[in-house]
Amino acid sequence: MAKVVLVTGANSGVGLALCERLLDEGVHLCMGCRNMQRAETARSALLRSHPSAQVDVLQVDTSSTISVLRAAQEFKLRYHRLDYLYLNAGIMPNPQFDVKAFFRGLLTGQVIEMLATGVGILTQKDNVTPDGFQEVFATNLFGHFLLFRELESLLCGSGQTSQLIWTSSSNAQRSAFSLDDIQHRAGSQPYSSSKYASDLLSLALNTHYNQQGLYSSVTCPGFVMTNLTYRVFPSIPAFFWTLLMPVFWLIRMFTNTFTLTPHYGAEALFYLFKQKPEALDPYSKYHSLTSGLGYTYSEARKMDVDLKTSEALYEKLLQLESEEKRKLQDQQKTFDVRKQRSG
């Protein structure tokens, strides 16, 4: 039987490149996308290169609780197993590039670290979702947590192993995250915070679910040219980035994190697909890397995470999950009463 794989954010960038690679392995692919038109365009492209592949689309907006719950319901009606869940959808809204910090970084010994992580030169202005959550937290982390929890029965069911694979980032930073403000309402680095939270959460999920055959891992695609990175300079057309390619190839001589293409960026995500999950290190992040000569590979690097903080975050997310569900039930009751009265 073909392995069933669900990939969120599958219609572009790293997610789409991963789908292309997974289809070479004969999987039954389900693309989780928020926009059906963009999803269908991507699905058609995948079917052009893999005409006999099984490729479905599932509508899911990870920033919306109701959308995630409906998508999980729909998934459970359509499929009886789920072998791999790639939690890849992500946003970095309104990025602000700090030119001064960039040039300061160039003049200090921090330049490689700065180019590899983007730390210190990027901040973001977050939004609030209709559910009342910080958008980056909801999209990158909480929506994915809910999706996983709703699909838990399929993932932990069959007596076989299954994998959760998060697309995190080298931009994840402990200093941007606080247990007292897990949504990062107060600061200007919601992206770093959400990615650090996914690193922590992955560790906690391994603690709680490994016995049931479910394993969670974290990846970093490196610096990849995608819609997400083009938005760092919104007024500059995408082709300008292509003009910068020779500069980036040169930088690649000094930092192997410049994977640049979505195909190379998907390397670590694809690598994990082929591993025995029991052999993976829950404390490591799996990085896609590309050498100066353009050879791509993945490498495990230890994360700056600890069990106590990961457990505390997990508890907070469970609490938030039950509050959200109660809120939705109350809304449903009010709706039913009004309907009865009017009908």
Ligand X SMILES: NC(=O)C1=CN([C@@H]2O[C@H](COP(=O)(O)OP(=O)(O)OC[C@H]3O[C@@H](n4cnc5c(N)ncnc54)[C@H](OP(=O)(O)O)[C@@H]3O)[C@@H](O)[C@H]2O)C=CC1
- CA dist., res. 163 & res. 115, Å (int): 30
Taking CB under 6 A as the criterion, the residue among 169, 189, 216, 298 binding ligand LHIR3OJJ is 169
Taking CB under 6 A as the criterion, the residue among 124, 167, 202, 216 binding ligand X is 167
Out of ligand X, ligand LHIR3OJJ, none, which partner does residue 189 contact, by CB within 5 to 8 A per kind? none
In the complex, what is the shortest distance from the CB of residue 247 to ligand LHIR3OJJ, in angstroms, rounded to a whole number? 5
Asked if residue 11 binds ligand X (CB under 6 A), the reply is yes
Out of ligand X, ligand LHIR3OJJ, none, which partner does residue 62 contact, by CB within 5 to 8 A per kind? ligand X
Q: Which of residues 241-300 bind ligand LHIR3OJJ (CB under 6 A)?
A: 244, 247
Taking CB under 6 A as the criterion, the residue among 121, 136, 141, 266 binding ligand LHIR3OJJ is 121
Could you give the C-alpha distances from 8 to 143, 273, 307, in angstroms and in order?
11, 15, 27
In the complex, what is the shortest distance from the CB of residue 46 to ligand LHIR3OJJ, in angstroms, rounded to a whole number? 24
- CA dist., res. 222 & res. 262, Å (int): 10
Could you give the C-alpha distances from 21 to 18, 42, 50, 199, in angstroms and in order?
5, 14, 10, 24
- CA dist., res. 143 & res. 151, Å (int): 12
Asked if residue 14 binds ligand X (CB under 6 A), the reply is yes
Stretch that binds ligand X, among 101-109, 144-152, 223-231, 292-300 (CB under 6 A): 223-231
Asked if residue 274 lies in contact with residue 161, where contact means CB atoms within 8 angstroms, the answer is: no
In the complex, what is the shortest distance from the CB of residue 132 to ligand LHIR3OJJ, in angstroms, rounded to a whole number? 26
Q: Which residue has the tokens 């499929």?
A: 79
Out of ligand LHIR3OJJ, ligand X, none, which partner does residue 9 contact, by CB within 5 to 8 A per kind? ligand X
Q: Which is nearer to ligand X, 88 or 310 (CB)?
A: 88
Q: Which is nearer to ligand X, 41 or 334 (CB)?
A: 41
Could you give the C-alpha distances from 256 to 91, 117, 153, 230, 299, in angstroms and in order?
23, 12, 39, 20, 11
Asked if residue 13 lies in contact with residue 226, where contact means CB atoms within 8 angstroms, the answer is: yes
Asked if residue 140 binds ligand LHIR3OJJ (CB under 6 A), the reply is no
Long-range contacts of 108-116, Cβ-Cβ distance < 8 Å, separation of 24 or more: 112/254, 112/255, 115/223, 115/251, 115/254, 115/255, 115/257, 115/258, 116/170, 116/223, 116/255, 116/257
Question: Which two tokens mark 95?
Answer: 């990025």
Out of ligand LHIR3OJJ, ligand X, none, which partner does residue 232 contact, by CB within 5 to 8 A per kind? ligand LHIR3OJJ
Taking CB under 6 A as the criterion, the residue among 118, 143, 190, 277 binding ligand LHIR3OJJ is 118
- CA dist., res. 203 & res. 308, Å (int): 10
Backbone φ/ψ region at 156: left (φ over 0), alpha (ψ -120 to 50), beta: alpha
Asked if residue 288 lies in contact with residue 18, where contact means CB atoms within 8 angstroms, the answer is: no
Residue 181 neighbours by CB distance under 10 Å: 13
In the complex, what is the shortest distance from the CB of residue 320 to ligand LHIR3OJJ, in angstroms, rounded to a whole number? 24
- Write out the residues near ligand LHIR3OJJ by the rule CB under 6 A: 92, 115, 117-118, 121-122, 169-171, 223, 229, 232, 244, 247
- Write out the residues near ligand X by the rule CB under 6 A: 8-9, 11-15, 34-35, 38, 60-63, 88-91, 139, 167, 169, 220-221, 223-224, 226-229
